[in-house]
Structure 1
């Protein structure tokens, strides 16, 4: 079978996977930035005498902007193309990391790391993976989504032990310079391989029976992003997805990537050991996210979401019992299980966005991801404040375990398919979407 333009189906498939792979590399590098506040806490407190709350504030700003940037980045990709947006984002994170090395005040950490790195990584978030998947694949979307979603954690797994070693042996500044260099190093690869649409190569999306012409650039990216939000906010599924994803953010990168290492250190565990455990969570995260994507192609996404939240909540409640100065069997069990569940919520949420919001699903997912990051930012900041106030992270683990139980219940009421009971909601979105300025 041949494409309309005469290219072979196999060539189309190869190109789609290459594009996905290069997008994954960008996501991996961006993911390396997310765990830095956790391993920077002790060096910054020793050098500048900042409180955990001050450091957590910069991490919170970073997480909020990471989330708020994502939907606009999706619209900008429709306007200017994926490749241009990714290259600009890599330059932004490199600049933010480099400027952080010359800071001498907490507000500068918030500006350079919170704002610049937050804006850049937000453009390289899971929204990038969603956009690439929607354009380049019509089959195996759940699997591809799972693979790309795992990229951010893979970045943590690849870079975190090395960054912790650099900080322990040299200083925290060389670690940030290394991150900036990595972001700049992959820019030529993005330019040479990443393409905005299969039609740019005269090919069809992987698994498609028909050639799909490249759509015209969509003007008014900011206006469109807000328009899609306004229309989606009138529907019941959006609020259920945003609520559960906010809890997801609080119970994963919000608390784990910022406070797991300091929490383990409170129990006498060396920072390098705790960082290595966090990296191993990333190893199993890759497996869990890909498996979740495979399951999303085959089962009700709501049920998968509920199971992930319920099991995650149980693990967080039991975490204080596993903490120790050395690695023990319960801690190994936690690392493996939490890793499998950490990002396993992403493929079903993306699938539900696609079910309800069609071609706007990348932007809608971007807004739900903003809720994810707001939840993460809240946990990052409040986790530090709780530690400063009570001298322990135990209240945080218990509160987040209870929140995950609530998210499991919310997941069951997300309507997976349009039914008579939510027909009005669907009609509102479908009607308003056709009137949006695209």
Structure 2
């Protein structure tokens, strides 16, 4: 009998193993995030074109961009709750259709600055916010127990990968044709991915009769959580009573200001001021995206092994030094110092996401995706303010130098805030709440078992 058992096990060992379905879900999630990420590259490309065609100030164009970024952030926590209520597939498919509609309307009926705010700021902001980092956090929380840091790094980098894939081609389209075909291109890409999401994305491992990757036991799917808006606000209320929430929100606001707010919005027009072509500057941003993917994945790997708050502080300190040096590097041509900046900034750009996600899971448990959504709102608020202020500073002083210097100095504050986030047990004991609370709903048998298996 022992011989038969050994032979049976040997036969099992020789049987090819299919990948866990969690990896297929993660790949499809990454594809949706890649396409949505392409939309964030466009404001920097069409700022100059809109200014020249319509005569609008850069400040008014920056206002529409800031509305987009603010709604991007505000939508994220509600979308995480809506995914619990209606499912990931429905929410993400609707979001992709919404961003496509916003881009197409912007390209066809735009005649006034308020329309840019409505179509690009409102529709595209709402759609991209629903496919933002909270989307990746929800998928990671449901489908993975092991490799969460690595997967969160991969999904966080997917948005920048979208910028990397689309940006050089879109820049050439803008240079040789117009900004309108560039908008139509990304709209068609969103329309192409939406059916794949609807047909193949699954909301929970139990839908396929599978366990989350790395889980010791089967985790049944929890019942839909009704009152998504109320739940989202309740989670905010409870999280806002804790110190780590405000520290992480402040740090992530500075993160947004020093990435989306300044680099992805103002780098291309700032480089144009120094005689660099839009194609060249966009290629540099695309290269930042290349190294961003490597940096974010490496950050996820490190987050599984090192204290998250210390990693976060190091990332902010190094990013601040780089931004302070950028005014000295701007020139019509690309030299070695600028290439060094591109490599280093790319490695640090979204490296902050995995440690912030890890700190949210440590402090807020089952509600971490929604809490992270609210912290992402702070990220986009910081980005929106700098997008608006940066354009106004350029209109007033004729240069972006003060913007780079000011945001670089802010990163020092981000490093200090990151170091102030302490151990979850000590923080929650001082704040009078339990560690990793399920702040939004009463525990159910399914959610309790999910929490135990995730542990």
TM-score (norm 1): 0.96
Match of 1:336 among 343, 346, 349: 343
CA contact (8 A) 1:313 1:400 kept: yes
Q: RMSD of the TM alignment (CA)?
A: 1.8
CA contact (8 A) 2:363 2:437 kept: no
Determine if the alignment matches structure 1 residue 251 to structure 2 residue 240.
no
CA contact (8 A) 1:228 1:436 kept: no
- Residue by residue over 1:240-274, the C-alpha shift from the partner in whole angstroms, topping out at 9 and shown as x without a partner, is 00000000000001110110001111111111100
Aligned to 2:96: 90
Post-superposition, which runs of at least 4 consecutive aligned residues in structure 1 deviate over 3 A? Answer: 8-11, 428-432, 434-438
Deviation at 1:425, TM superposition (A): 1.9
Aligned to 1:51: 57
Aligned to 1:18: 24
- Residue by residue over 1:290-345, the C-alpha shift from the partner in whole angstroms, topping out at 9 and shown as x without a partner, is 00000000000000000000000000000011111000011000000000000000
Deviation at 1:417, TM superposition (A): 3.0
Determine if the alignment matches structure 1 residue 104 to structure 2 residue 122.
no
Match of 2:156 among 146, 149, 152: 149
Aligned to 1:218: 225
| 1:102-251 aligned within 5 A | 102-251=109-258
Aligned to 2:398: 391
Aligned to 2:378: 371
Deviation at 1:431, TM superposition (A): 7.1
Match of 1:413 among 416, 420, 423: 420
CA contact (8 A) 2:363 2:436 kept: no
- Residue by residue over 1:322-371, the C-alpha shift from the partner in whole angstroms, topping out at 9 and shown as x without a partner, is 11100001100000000000000000000000000001000000000000
Deviation at 1:429, TM superposition (A): 7.3
Deviation at 1:400, TM superposition (A): 0.8
Q: Which has the larger radius of gyration?
A: 2
Distance in 2 (CA, whole Å) between partners of 1:430 and 1:298 is 20
Distance in 2 (CA, whole Å) between partners of 1:371 and 1:119 is 16
- Residue by residue over 1:113-169, the C-alpha shift from the partner in whole angstroms, topping out at 9 and shown as x without a partner, is 000000000000011100000000000000000000001100000001111111111
TM-score (norm 2): 0.92
Aligned to 1:5: none
Determine if the alignment matches structure 1 residue 425 to structure 2 residue 431.
yes
Secondary structure of the equivalent of 2:439?
helix
Are residues 137 and 240 of structure 1, via their aligned partners in 2, closer, same or farther at CA, if it must alter by over 3 Å? same
Distance in 1 (CA, whole Å) between partners of 2:354 and 2:437 is 27
Query: Would you say how many aligned residue pairs link Structure 1 and Structure 2?
Result: 431
Aligned to 1:260: 267
Gaps of 5+ in 2: 1-7, 9-14, 445-455
Aligned to 1:64: 70
Deviation at 1:435, TM superposition (A): 5.9
Are residues 431 and 121 of structure 1, via their aligned partners in 2, closer, same or farther at CA, if it must alter by over 3 Å? closer
Distance in 1 (CA, whole Å) between partners of 2:424 and 2:105 is 48
| 1:256-405 aligned within 5 A | 256-405=263-412
Are residues 42 and 230 of structure 1, via their aligned partners in 2, closer, same or farther at CA, if it must alter by over 3 Å? same
CA contact (8 A) 2:37 2:160 kept: yes
Distance in 1 (CA, whole Å) between partners of 2:168 and 2:58 is 22
Secondary structure of the equivalent of 2:332?
coil
Gaps of 5+ in 1: 2-7
